[in-house]
Structure 1
Amino acid sequence: MTDAPDRPTVLTAADGDVWRITLDRPETGNPVTPALAADLAAALAARPEQSRVVLLLANGPRFCVGGDIGSFAGASNPGDFVGRLASDWHQVIRALLSCPVPVVAGVQGAVAGAGVGLIGACDLVVCARTTKIRPAYGAIGFTPDGGTSWALSRALGAPRALDLLLSNGSLTAAEAHLTGLVARLVEDEDLQATAEQLATRIAAGPIRTMVRTRALVRQAATRTLEEQLDDEAQLIAESASDPEGREGVRAFVEKRAPDFRNAR
């Protein structure tokens, strides 16, 4: 399967404080291809400096069906092709994990293969109720990539992650919400509006503080309490010195809403 060279696989738009990135191969389920990896990496790199949140969405009934298996079958050297694609895709995952602003995603329909790792790299995921999440690697004899094993192990724990991966199982949206793989569960027709509202709400908050908080939460599972306490002390001191922290305290004392957007 070949992407039309004159048609990007993602659409981007600045919507106030929100940098919207939309996967745009609805006719094929937004599969992970070399073109998508390149376009998504470029879209993240092109984020306007003034934007305060990234909102990741997808056109069509399916969010992301994972790798384009047809291209795997057609490759003269499958190991080389898949390895290069995984390497390129992992740069996207790293860009999301290190994004200087929070990342919100709205997902629907199907999330499979590397698409699972994609949502796992986002900070807040809003999920439509009828969504199905299926790693699907075992069905084609592959091991996980794209951070999928990390995201599933972090959310489900090792035993349940292995059960899902080794049995070629799937999760309903309700199960994904219950285990913490996704943050919010909404009716299908409310998905986009809810994701947009959440992104706008997050954008009004203390963005640099949120990024520090994200780091603390992600590190918590692999660190001792003593290590976590040390980092908490350091980061709360940084936040108190930051213009965001100063504005938050000042607004509290003055009994008004804080203006974090202009806290520079």
Structure 2
Amino acid sequence: MTSTTSTATTPSSAEPLVHSNGGVLTITVSTAAAGTSLADDALAGGAQALREVARGQREAGAILLVGAGANFCAGGNVRAFAAAEDRPTYLRGLADNFHAMVAALYEADRPVVAAVKGWAAGAGMSLVLHADVAIGGESTRMRPAYRGIGLTPDGGMTWTLPRAVGAARARNIILTDRVISASEAADWGLLSEVVADDDVDAVARAAAEKIAAGPWQADQGARRLLSAAPDHSLVEHLALEAQSIALRSGAPEGREGVDAFIGKRKPDWAASR
């Protein structure tokens, strides 16, 4: 396994866009270059690293999505869109690469934390909607942004947003290109927590590290139950919960957790993996 691995670097600082440390896989989705637009290198490097997690080739207990500039991500690079000789072919390629990373996020099957500072617009907003824990700042703003340039959403926004805020509100947000404040995003469940602007990165990383220090398999099981809930009746879902908790009780993490509780000691989750 690799504890610290770089698969791409920022153009200005040579810092890794994708790296692992302490059980947290960090993906820098945007840089200060090109107005903090979505970093193409991060899409390819992030998807590769996430697939490695899914295949057991890279250890990770949590995924952390961050932006290296003033914003989490201001969307796609519109100047590059305009400069493309064949715009439809270019945009299709970008969308396919973006969607490959989104699919890899789900394939990795790990809790996703997002440090949502500044703007999360367009593709940036789409990414936030895939996070299990999204930490925003007091000045954080979210916006679909696609309508403003005559395009339609990608990154799964038309699938995730209605599930997060309801069909009527999602239609209103996308069709009016609404700017969503941090307080609204928190009230609607798009952000998990709002902190001081200067604390966003630190609080998000602390959340990712806390998750990564815990029982990885139990977290995976809980995420699967949460994802499956909308597609089942209560009775059906109770059966899934019963099956899952019984399975976890016989696994190393479940045995360690129960034994540690009885022994009045802290569980050694790392040893139980």
Q: Is 1:221–2:217 an aligned residue pair?
A: no
Give 3-state SS (helix, strand or coil) of 2:70's partner: coil
1:263 aligns with 2:272: yes
Structure 1: where are the runs of 5+ without partners?
Answer: none
Structure 1 match to 2:35: 29
Identity %: 38
Q: Which residue of 2 aligns with 1:147?
A: 156
Q: Please, which of 115, 131, 142 is the counterpart of residue 106 of structure 1?
A: 115
1:136 Cα deviation after fit: 0.9
Segment drifting more, 127-136 vs 96-105: 96-105
| 1:212 paired residue among 188, 208, 221 | 221
Partners of 2:30 and 2:191 in 1: CA distance: 22
Evaluate the alpha carbon distance shift between residue 24 and residue 140 of structure 1 in structure 2; reply closer, same or farther with a 3 A threshold.
Answer: closer
What residue is the counterpart of 1:248 in the other structure?
Answer: 257
RMSD across aligned positions (CA)? 2.3
1:151 and 1:181 in contact (8 A); partners too: no
Deviates more, 1:217-226 or 1:252-261: 217-226
The corresponding residue for 1:12 is 18
**SS at 2:231's partner residue?**
coil
The CA distance in 1 between the partners of 2:232 and 2:47, in whole Å, is: 30
**Structure 1 pair 102–4 and aligned structure 2 pair: CA distance change class (3 A):** closer
Contact 2:146 2:152 survives alignment (8 Å): yes
> C-alpha distance in 1, partners of 2:22/2:41?
28
Aligned residue runs from structure 1 range 52-201, under 5 A: 52-201=61-210
Deviations 1:87-130 (A, max 9, x none): 11111111112324322121111111111111111221111121
Query: Do the aligned partners of 1:127 and 1:185 also contact (CA within 8 Å) in 2?
Result: yes
Aligned counterparts of 1:263 and 1:33: Cα–Cα separation in 2: 36
The farther-off stretch of 17-26 and 52-61 is 17-26
Aligned length: 262
3-state DSSP of counterpart to 2:194: strand
SS at match of 1:29: helix
Q: Which aligned runs of 4 or more in structure 1 are off by greater than 4 angstroms?
A: 3-10
Q: CA deviation at 1:188?
A: 0.6
Work out the CA distance in 1 between the residues paired with 2:95 and 2:70.
25
Q: Which amino acid aligns with 2:112?
A: V
Query: Offset at 1:217?
Result: 0.8
- TM-score, scaled to structure 1: 0.90
SS at match of 1:32: coil
Q: Match of 2:253, SS?
A: helix
Q: What SS does the aligned partner of 1:255 have?
A: coil
Greater shift, 38-47 or 71-80, is seen at 38-47
CA distance in 1, matches of 2:223, 2:26: 20
8 Å Cα contact 2:27-2:42 kept in structure 1: no
